[in-house]
Chain A
Amino acid sequence: RKEVEQDPGPFNVPEGATVAFNCTYSNSASQSFFWYRQDCRKEPKLLMSVYSSGNEDGRFTAQLNRASQYISLLIRDSKLSDSATYLCVVGAGTYKYIFGTGTRLKVLA
């Protein structure tokens, strides 16, 4: 089993739709969780950290479910500019971060 697993997609959704991605992790001792977005041929950009209580930033909501060992990202009112690959990242010790393979999102006009 991979340490961090994501559905590679692509998720093709119309503008304005709500889309959700899940990411599962295998190490129950993991303490930090993040979502990054990566545009084609660009660097990953930190989208948000994921906290136990859940957190929201505008149209984006992240949730953590420790019992089932998954994190989720919900995007409301999708924009064309949201098209990107979304990487789930799990902290695995002080300096190690385990990346999922990413989920591709295409928002269609």
Chain B
Amino acid sequence: DTEVTQTPKHLVMGMTNKKSLKCEQHMGHRAMYWYKQKAKKPPELMFVYSYEKLSINESVPSRFSPECPNSSLLNLHLHALQPEDSALYLCASSQALGGTGQYFGPGTRLTVT
């Protein structure tokens, strides 16, 4: 099973709302990632968790707050977002030592109004 699932598929939120994106994988991968992708651009790395610990934060604004409750789950908490944060948010997972490629979820398409 090479599936990564994400919920919700679509999300519309106002600039004062708080919402969360969820990601789950059951491949036994110990590295999980959040990416942001704008139209016609490649994915941009936001965060990496390795063995449930935050390994990389690519200087992401604090209005995005990641959380890794366990080895299968990854959340992204959103608060006070701006319209320019509207994008496709992709979760991915990989084996912890890298070198084996990442598997992406279908993404959450976020619109901030």
A95-B43 in contact (CB<8A): no
Closest to A104 in B: B40
Interface check A32, CB cutoff 8 A: yes
**Residues from chain B with Cβ under 8 Å of A45 in the complex:** 104
A99 and B97 alpha carbons, distance in the complex (Å): 19
Interface check A1, CB cutoff 8 A: no
A95-B42 in contact (CB<8A): no
Given known contacts A43-B90, A43-B107, A45-B104, is B43 in contact with A94 (CB within 8 Å)?
no
**Residues from chain B with Cβ under 8 Å of A49 in the complex:** 100-101
**Residues from chain A with Cβ under 8 Å of B88 in the complex:** 41
**Residues from chain B with Cβ under 8 Å of A34 in the complex:** 101
Given known contacts A95-B31, A99-B42, is B98 in contact with A44 (CB within 8 Å)?
no
A101 and B38 alpha carbons, distance in the complex (Å): 12
Min CB–CB distance A9 → chain B (angstroms): 12
Q: Which of A76-109 contact B (CB under 8 A)?
A: 87, 89, 91, 93-97, 99-102
Min CB–CB distance A54 → chain B (angstroms): 17
A109 and B41 alpha carbons, distance in the complex (Å): 27
A32-B42 in contact (CB<8A): no
Interface check B17, CB cutoff 8 A: no
Q: List 17 A-B residue pairs with CB atoms under 8 Å apart, sorted by A's residue number.
A: A31-B99, A32-B99, A41-B88, A43-B90, A43-B107, A44-B43, A45-B104, A46-B101, A49-B100, A91-B98, A94-B50, A95-B31, A95-B33, A95-B56, A95-B94, A99-B43, A101-B41
Binding site for A on B (CB under 8 A): 31, 33, 41-43, 45, 48, 50, 55-56, 88, 90, 94, 97-107, 109
